[in-house]
Chain A
Amino acid sequence: MGLIRALRGDTGGQLMLGLLLLVAVLVPVLNLLVPETSPWHLSTFTVTLLGKYLTYALLAVAVDLVWGYLGILSLGHGAFFALGGYAMGMYLMRQIGDRGVYGDPVLPDFMVFLNWKELPWFWHGFDQFWFAMLMVLLVPGLLAFVFGWLAFRSRVTGVYLSIITQALTYALMLAFFRNEMGFGGNNGLTDFKDILGFDLQADTTRVALFLASALALALGYLACRWIVTSRLGRVAVAIRDAEARTRFIGYRVDRVKLAIWTFSAMLAGVAGALYVPQVGIINPGEFAPLNSIELVVWVAVGGRATLYGAVVGAVLVNYGKTYFTGAFPEAWLFALGGLFVLVTLLLPRGIAGLFRLRLRRRTEAPAVREARA
């Protein structure tokens, strides 16, 4: 029932999910079943790259939920992504066990290197997968909740809110760079061996992680669609368009914002948790303000307030990034900046805007023809 409501009238979303399903079937087949000598074989490197794009897409959906539908331009969503990533990274670190360079059965290498004698309290429990997964949701969720509770209750909005979200991620970056924080300092967490007992370098594990990312994206997308098509979603858009009016009608604007904001942060955390085992490292660089700004560009390029546009934007821009940083390493930032300017000037509704225009023309066409006749 909820699923039907979530997808009704969402042509772009249906197409996107169909395409995602197709890719989710084709990629494992082309990677695992087609022999490496065949030109149709898909390298594991590409599988992992695609998996990474999908986690970015999920992150972009989380940003579009708060930016497109609630009007909160978050310039700090990278922080929630990175926190989810660190929670996963801590689990992967504990999985290494005594196979590290120093061979300590409990302490990760960087702690031995720092001459620490025992595990800090906040590293306990992360040897359990379920606990780590719980933290993937809880840590970003809790931070977003506390931050949002303070910000929304004081009615901080607009550009001021954007700036403090940016400050939040910057502060976290500085904190995580410090060795004393106990998260591996500037090297971060890396050298992962396996996840749930499966070798992280194995093709099958890579494909499984890719599929998990695709599934998470699909479920995350549906959950967001379900929210925006509910009455709460309409309240969110009302807050975006006329906040004071919504408050006046009797909605607790701060609580609506807090709920959706926290959910979005948890979604970003999940994306981060799927990202880390695929790229094999998490370091404080993920908290860099530039990352958070870049992901706002993905959403803008794809088209705000459509959700599927965020997916399209994230995948396309990141494909462009992969291509440009390979072909013309110096040109990438110019290309990104140029893209943002062009989209703002020429495509204010992003790629999804183009798509919707086409769709409308097609549905309007018969009426226009009739009118002319």
Chain B
Amino acid sequence: MSPASQSARDLMRRDRAFDFSSQQRAWLQFKESMRRDRQFDFMVNVKDLELDISHGPILYIEDLNVSFDGFKAIDHLNFYVDAGELRCVIGPNGAGKTTMMDIITGKTRPDSGSVYFGQKIDLLRLSEPEIAEIGIGRKFQKPTVFEHHTVFENLELAMAGDKRVFPTLFARLSGEQRERIDEVLGIIGLGEQAQREAGALSHGQKQWLEIGMLLMQNPLLLLVDEPVAGMTHQEMDRTAELLLSLQGKHSVVVVEHDMDFVRSIARRVTVLHQGTVLAEGSMEQVQNDPRVVEVYLGE
């Protein structure tokens, strides 16, 4: 890309970022908050929402835009994930990978665009806990397990179920639930550590526990943010096995920097750059795409 066209694009981007004055923005936010269908959030019963994946994709992101203080983090992004697919998302720093995850899980609200889970569920209308409840789980970059609880208790807390105050107060583990916890302990290979405090686990083990906590929620879609950062090679291989074993049963989106790791698990790879999709396809196709090479290796 020539320097001239680069600066022209910068200018355009700046224009777009400033088309709302702060007053207009406040007015829009006010209008948004007064939308009648948003007034009674608690009246939307999440359990009544039905996931429709009859057309294939489980996640539809269309024409999504987000900017932070004039910086366009997501720029007209379109992104689809099929049910049961294991998808890797790569891209340089600032490409918008984490922001995209934030929007899917309801942590960040986009300026415009749509995000649908299946064909019918509009994720932009749901709160963070509701999104977790309908079956979207996320593993954060930094593993955050509950350090003062045992591995078993961590999984118990994460278990899908009635999470309102009083049912939780009177909750007791059924045999079935206990079996499910044991099963997940097996999948993540922490059976021996079940009664250890999670704070005492190694970094890799914490990452697996975190994936286990996701699995306890029986998610239909798993978002996994940099699962192998800081892992040894052995741990990476173990993590690759773990993620591959989830394929088919869950749809998984993995964001990762480590190319070797991505190569070892990916069937389809999406390359993000400056908040938009640069390329999509098999690892081989993507690696040979000149635009991807340019982004990754510089001009």
Contacts and interface: CB of A to CB of B under 8 A. Distances in A.
Interface of A: 227, 230-232, 234-235, 237-238, 241-242, 244-252, 255-256, 259
A238 B168 contact: no
Contact of B149 (A227, A237, A247, A259): A237
A102 B170 CA distance: 53
Contacts of A255: 164-165
Interface in B191-237: 213, 217
A227 B169 contact: yes
Nearest to A249: B158
B149 A252 contact: no
B138 A234 contact: no
B171 interface: yes
19 contacts: A230-B169, A230-B170, A230-B171, A234-B149, A234-B153, A234-B156, A237-B146, A237-B149, A242-B144, A246-B146, A248-B105, A248-B129, A248-B138, A249-B213, A251-B129, A251-B163, A252-B164, A255-B165, A256-B168
B267 interface: no
Contacts of B158: 249
A251 B168 CA distance: 10
B207 to A, nearest CB: 14
A256 B147 CA distance: 20
B157 A249 contact: yes
Interface of B: 105, 128-129, 132-133, 138, 140, 144, 146-149, 153, 156-158, 160, 163-166, 168-171, 213, 217
A271 B168 CA distance: 27
Q: Is the interface of A mostly helix, strand, loop or mixed?
A: helix
Given A242-B147, A252-B129, 6 more contacts: A230-B171, A234-B153, A241-B147, A244-B144, A251-B168, A259-B169
Contacts, number: 71
Contacts of A238: 146, 149, 157
A230 B170 CA distance: 7
A90 to B, nearest CB: 32
Given A231-B156, A235-B157, A238-B157, A252 B163 contact: yes
Contacts of B168: 230-232, 235, 251, 256
Contacts of A247: 128-129
A245 B140 CA distance: 9
4 smallest A-B Cβ distances: which pairs?
A250-B132, A232-B169, A231-B171, A232-B168
Most buried by B among A230, A245, A250, A255: A250
Most buried by B among A238, A244, A246, A255: A238
A85 B116 CA distance: 55
A237 B148 contact: yes
A238 B148 CA distance: 8
A242 B128 contact: no
A237 B133 CA distance: 21
A249 B164 contact: no
B165 A231 contact: no
A2 B114 CA distance: 48
Given A249-B217, A250-B217, A232 B165 contact: yes
